[in-house]
Amino acid sequence: MTTIPTNVSYEGLGEEVVGREREVELLLAALQSGAHVVLEGPPGTGKSTLLRAVANRQHVPFIFVEGNAELTPGRLVGHFDPAQVLAQGYTPEIFVDGPLIEAMRSGGLLYIEELNRVPEETLNVLLTSMSEGEVHVPRLGAVRAAEGFCFVAAMNPYDSVGTARISGAIYDRTCRIAMGYQTPEAEGRISELRAPDVPREWRLKVIELIRSSREHADIRVGSSVRGVIDMIKVADALARTRGVDVSDWHLGLDAATVALSGRIRLHESTTRTPEEVVRELYEAVFGREPREDDDSSGEA
């Protein structure tokens, strides 16, 4: 059983999860059935936003945990306060709940980001909570999950640095929802909501530029819609600083370089720099650098 109502709809989440009608429906169905879920997709596809929106709108306790190599079983489960142990011994009252125990006691939603960065011994603790709805803590005893407890994790399947392969035992105990990039229309709406107002045609070209980074032969991982938002923000600030229009060719290239050169991940086999690749992508969408005697704004 779960505390998430069965009458939740996509419309109830407003504009927090633009273009994610299907994923919202699937996530709600999984949570309503009492299942645990893995959201899998590249960075910037709205995994955290989706889950926070569902939890916040329905007033479900939401416990966020950043997955990394430092997330030990002790940090996930909790610990006895050392100073209080000296004075009172190992009594339940002085146990400091970790995020897992907090979620289990409150019947909340435990969200672990970057699941494939979590050590295997910590994942084993999660397996017990998912399978049995119970965790045994030394000197504290068994802690059973309250009604509504759910575990949801997110992971980026394209990131191989500092990650480990998730065991079949995890996948066997979870439902998986794949989250790809949003549609061009959805990315346009997101940029309208979260970035400054700029000419529509120029905004559409920015979206085209960012989307092209996902298909370039030298790029292993392209940019998400966050690249659209940051490029527009940087360009807007530069336009005000330089006193030129946001569609200025050189201004746009500078904004694209700042927003994308650190986001894209190149294949190890390439000898090119991120800046070179970003310029190639930019010229393909906005045209080549205008000549000095060309008074156009750089429109292709």
Share of the chain above pLDDT 70, in %: 89
Is 194 a residue whose pLDDT tops 90? yes
Note whether residue 130 is domain-resident: yes
CATH, residue 208: 1.10.8.80
Note whether residue 200 is domain-resident: yes
d(CA 269, CA 249): 30
φ/ψ of 153, rounded to 5, equals -125, 155
98 and 140 in a common domain: yes
169 and 71 in a common domain: yes
Note whether residue 2 is domain-resident: no
164 and 54 in a common domain: yes
77 and 53 in a common domain: yes
195 and 173 in a common domain: no
pLDDT digits (tens, 9 = 90+) for 149-192: 999 999 887 665 545 567 788 889 899 999 999 999 999 999 99
pLDDT digits (tens, 9 = 90+) for 138-150: 989 999 999 889 9
35 and 166 in a common domain: yes
197 and 163 in a common domain: no
- Distances in Å between the Cα of 147 and the Cα atoms of 4, 207, 275 are 11, 43, 52
24 and 125 in a common domain: yes
Q: Which amino acid is at 20?
A: R
Question: Where a domain ends, among 148, 178, 208?
Answer: 178
pLDDT of amino acid 267: 93
Note whether residue 112 is domain-resident: yes
Q: Which domain holds residue 152?
A: 10-178
CATH, residue 89: 3.40.50.300
* Residue closest to 36 by CA, chosen among 111, 86, 88: 111
Question: Where a domain ends, among 122, 149, 178?
Answer: 178
pLDDT of amino acid 159: 62
165 and 38 in a common domain: yes
pLDDT of amino acid 160: 54
pLDDT digits (tens, 9 = 90+) for 249-277: 999 999 999 999 999 999 999 999 999 99
pLDDT of amino acid 12: 57
166 and 245 in a common domain: no
Is 193 a residue whose pLDDT tops 90? yes
254 and 156 in a common domain: no
| Confidence bin at 59 (pLDDT 50/70/90) | confident
10, 22 Cβ separation under 8 angstroms: no
Note whether residue 291 is domain-resident: no
Does this model's pTM top 0.75? yes
| Confidence bin at 109 (pLDDT 50/70/90) | very high
135 and 17 in a common domain: yes
Note whether residue 274 is domain-resident: yes
Out of 2-16, 41-55, 162-176, pick the least confident.
2-16
What is the count of structural domains for the chain? 2
pLDDT of amino acid 136: 92
Question: Where a domain ends, among 137, 152, 178?
Answer: 178
Note whether residue 240 is domain-resident: yes
